[in-house]
Amino acid sequence: MSTYTAPARDLYFACTELADLAGVHTLPGYEEATPELLTSILEEAGRFASEVLAPLNVVGDRQGARLVDGKTKTAEGWQGAYRQFIDSGWNGLPFAGEYGGQELPWLVATATNEIWESANMAFALCPLLTQGAIEAILAHGSEDQRDTYLGKLVSGEWTGTMNLTEPQAGSDLAAVRTRAVPEGDHYRISGQKIFITYGDHDLTDNIVHLVLARLPDAPEGVKGISLFIVPKFLRDDDGNWSVPNDIETLSLEEKLGIHASPTAVLGYGNNEGAIGYLVGEENQGLVYMFTMMNVARHSVGVQGYAVAERAYQQAVQYASERMQGKAIDDPAGERVAIIRHPDIQRLLWTQKCRNEALRALALVTASCMDKASRHPDKETRAAAADMVEVLTPIVKGYATEVGLENVSLALQVHGGMGFIEETGAAQFYRDQRITPIYEGTTGIQALDLAGRKLLRDGGQMTLRVIDYIRQDAARYSTISEDMAKSLGDALDAVAHAANFLISRSAESLREVGAVAEPYLRLWGVVACGWLMAKSAHRANVLLDEGKCDDHLNAEFLRIKLRCAEFYFASEMPLVSALAERVEESGDLVAGGHVEDFLTR
Query: Annotated catalytic sites, by residue?
Result: 439
DSSP 282-297: TT-HHHHHHHHHHHHH
- Taking the C-alpha atoms of residue 565 and residue 563, their distance in angstroms, rounded to an integer, is 5
Which residues, 6+ apart, have CB-to-CB distance to 346 below 8 Å? none
What lies within 8 Å, CB to CB, of 172 at 6+ separation is none
Q: Please report which helix (H) or strand (E) contains residue 586, including its range.
A: helix 586-590
Query: Exposed, middle or buried: residue 33 (CB in 10 Å: 0-12, 13-18, 19+)?
Result: buried
Q: What is the Cα–Cα distance from 357 to 351, expressed in whole angstroms?
A: 10
DSSP string, 433-490: TTTTTTTS-HHHHHHIIIIITTGGGTTHHHHHHHHHHHHHHTT-TTS-HHHHHHHHHH
The string of DSSP letters for 130-163 reads HHHHHHHHHHHS-HHHIIIIIHHHHHTSSEEEEE
Cα→Cα distances 324→30, 250, 341, Å: 52, 50, 9
CA-nearest of 511, 512, 518, 471 to 491 is 471
Alpha carbon distance 488, 526 (integer Å)? 10
User: What is the helix (H) or strand (E) element at residue 189, kind and residue range?
Assistant: strand 186-197
- What Rg, from alpha-carbon coordinates, does the chain have? 24
Q: Which of 528, 504, 519, 499 is nearest to 443 (CA)?
A: 519
Other residues' Cβ atoms within 10 Å of the Cβ of residue 561: 17
Distance in angstroms (rounded) separating the CA atoms of residues 302 and 365: 11
d(CA 212, CA 176): 8
Distance CA 507, CA 582 (A): 16
Helices 342-374 and 378-413 pack at an angle, to 10 degrees, of 160
